A and B are shown apart, each in its own frame.
Chain A
Amino acid sequence: MDRSTVPMSATNDFEEKLAAHGLELRAETVEILQVNVGKLCNQACKHCHVDASPKRTEIMTRETAEQVLAALHRFRIPTLDITGGAPELNPSFRYLVSQAHALGAHVCVRHNLTVIFEPGQDDLPEFFRECEVEVISSLPYFLEQQTDAQRGHGVFEKSVEALRRLNETGYGIDGSNLILNLVYNPVGAYLPPPQASIEADFKREMMARYGISFNHLYTITNMPIKRFLDYLRRSGNEERYIRKLIEAFNPQAVAGLMCRNLVSVDWLGRLYDCDFNQMIELGVDPELPQTIVDFDPAKFALRRIQTASHCFGCTAGAGSSCGGAVVKN
């Protein structure tokens, strides 16, 4: 069976669910260009929807990064959201960030924390500060056992040390404008808890145990594709998890889905409605331009979002997006 996505029925069951609630998933204006600069990563997390690892070789070239910057400049897109892999391992990463910052864009980086200990990366906190980067970092739990179970042995200890470095640089500190947000993913086949409640736990425990502060915690649901789908199948949890996502469908989450205000760009410059669609190679509406070179936000506004069964992951419970829960609680 194809390991990239959940089993598809003859019809699109997500579209059927939307229709049953009188809903249609269409974009609004493009406010975020989310760019995946490659699959190379210093970690190989068990839930990774990118299948990223130190062995991956797919990486965005300088030429494609230039095309991203040209689009950002030409269309005055407010936010560049950079992800990977570990995006810092792309040789064009610092160029992309500093140029986007110079253009006046708000730059977010999905930073895995431990990459700071890779050769040549120890000044990352200072570089982030210079470019006023919003740092968004995964930390599945405030305890070592759960974090290492998902992200690998020794990751928690390194992550805590990296967070200390970010705090020392002014990130996530009260009164500072340097934003440090954390991301919570369930360490297994279950839905995230209410965001406000687990954020309060993280703030209390991270300060009490490690003296670390941060701005916000985003809860993100594990998507049943790629490496997490492999885990679901290996552990016999696939059917139960998919059923859980479908049964937890929340029509109120649809309006706030991330695909409605972003366009996702892959390492080759191809366009998608989100990073998850990118990983299963489900491109944007075939009627639209397919690459960043031909991108035109006017054509992408109000576009019909391409969906498949994995989309139930973003509409379950309080919903899930790159900015955490969609329905605040």
Chain B
Amino acid sequence: MAYYDEEDLGRFSEIAKYRPDLFEKFMAWYQACQEDGALSRREKALIGLAVAHALQCPYCIDAYAQACLESGSNMEQMTEAIHMASAIRGGAALIHGLQAHNSVHKVSM
């Protein structure tokens, strides 16, 4: 059995089976988040793509790569968004280096 199946993205709504009320609430919120607002759909799709990479969710990466194309972003813009997510992930790892330093200093003479 494959853990990630591309076809599962289209079956997302099946998760509603046991608690449709919760899924309905989630979808209403999720869809409202996608609409044009203070941020455009295109900006939101780029944020979605960046977050998808930070979370490393293959379904979200697929969905938001398509959403970026269909909202008018090009590969340069999408790649910059991915670098932003990666840079923040890298920075978040690196800043924890101080925790390691602190831990070592605490027990060192």
Stretch of B15-23, B27-35, B65-73, B90-98 contacting A (4+ beta carbons < 8 Å): B65-73
Residue numbers of A with Cβ under 8 A of B are 141, 143, 146, 186, 188, 190-194, 197-198, 201, 243, 317
B72 touches A194 (CB 8 A): yes
Complex contact A193–B10 (CB within 8 A): no
* A194 partner residues in chain B, CB cutoff 8 A: 41, 71-72
From the candidates A190, A198, A243, name the one contacting B66 in the complex (CB within 8 A).
A190
CB distance from A202 to the nearest CB of B (A): 10
Q: Which 8 A-B pairs have the closest CB atoms?
A: A193-B72, A198-B72, A190-B69, A191-B70, A193-B71, A197-B72, A190-B70, A193-B70
Q: Is the CB of B10 within 8 A of A186?
A: no
Known: A186-B69, A190-B69, A243-B10. A146 touches B42 (CB 8 A): no
Of chain A, the residue at the smallest CB distance from B69 is: A190
Residue of A nearest to B41 (CB): A194
Residue interface bits B50-89, CB-to-A below 8 A is 1, else 0:
0000000000000000100111101000000000000000
A197-B40 in contact (CB<8A): yes
Q: How far, in whole Å, are A194 and B35 apart by their CA atoms in the complex? A: 13
Residues of B within 8 A of A186 (CB): 69-70
Interface residue tally on B, bucketed by range: 10 to 19
B71 x A197 contact (CB < 8 A): yes
A192 to B69, CA, bound (A): 8
A141 and B69 alpha carbons, distance in the complex (Å): 12
Q: A residues within 8 A CB of B69? A: 186, 188, 190, 193
- CA–CA, A192 and B74, complex, Å: 12
Q: How far is the CA of A212 from the CA of B72 in the complex (A)?
A: 20
A219 to chain B, nearest CB (A): 9
- Return chain B residues, CB-CB under 8 Å to A146: 74
Residues of B within 8 A of A141 (CB): 74
CB of A156 to closest CB in B, whole Å: 14
Nearest-Cβ distance from residue B10 to partner chain A, whole angstroms: 7
Bound Cα distance A243, B40 (Å) = 26
13 contacting pairs across A/B (C-beta < 8 A)? A186-B70, A188-B69, A190-B69, A192-B70, A193-B42, A193-B69, A193-B72, A194-B71, A194-B72, A197-B71, A198-B72, A243-B10, A317-B70
Which A residues touch B10, using CB under 8 A?
A: 243
Inside 8 A of B74's CB, which chain A residues have their CB? 141, 143, 146
**Bound state CA distance, A193 and B72, in angstroms?**
5
A192 surroundings in chain B (CB, below 8 A)? 70
Which residues from chain A contact B71 at a C-beta distance below 8 Å?
Answer: 193-194, 197
Chain B hits for A193, CB < 8 A? 42, 69-72
Additional A-B contact list (12), CB under 8 Å, known A141-B74, A186-B70, A193-B69: A143-B74, A146-B74, A190-B66, A190-B70, A193-B42, A193-B70, A194-B72, A197-B42, A197-B71, A201-B72, A243-B10, A317-B70
Give Cα A143–Cα B74 distance, bound, in whole angstroms.
10
Tell me the complex Cα distance, A317–B40, Å: 17
Report the Cα distance A192→B10, complex, angstroms.
21
Within the assembled complex, what's the spacing in Å between the Cα atoms of A191 and B10?
Answer: 17
Q: Which residue of A lies closest to B71 (CB)?
A: A193
- Among B1-26, those with CB < 8 Å from A are 10
| B42 cross-chain contacts in A, Cβ below 8 A | 193, 197
